[in-house]
Amino acid sequence: MTGHSRAPAGHAAMKNFVDSMLGDIRASYRSREEQLARAARGYKKRMKDLAKKHENLLIAYG
């Protein structure tokens, strides 16, 4: 009967492990999503600045 009494403890330990792992995965996903969003905003800003410079060059030399 000792195997039966240890099963709930093992189940709880596994559940805690899986819950912890899922939390880590969610945090990692959130962090990566924020990193990609920052990169996209930076790219958009650079493209806007480049378009403005191009427009100014066309006005100056066109």
What is the pLDDT, as a whole number, of residue 3?
52
Ordered per-residue pLDDT tens for the chain, 62 residues: 455 555 688 899 999 999 999 999 999 999 999 999 999 999 999 999 999 999 999 999 98
Query: Apex CA 47: angle with CA 45 and CA 53, to 5°?
Result: 105
What is the pLDDT, as a whole number, of residue 6?
59
Environment class of 22 (CB within 10 Å of its CB; exposed 0-12, middle 13-18, buried 19+): exposed
pTM here? 0.65
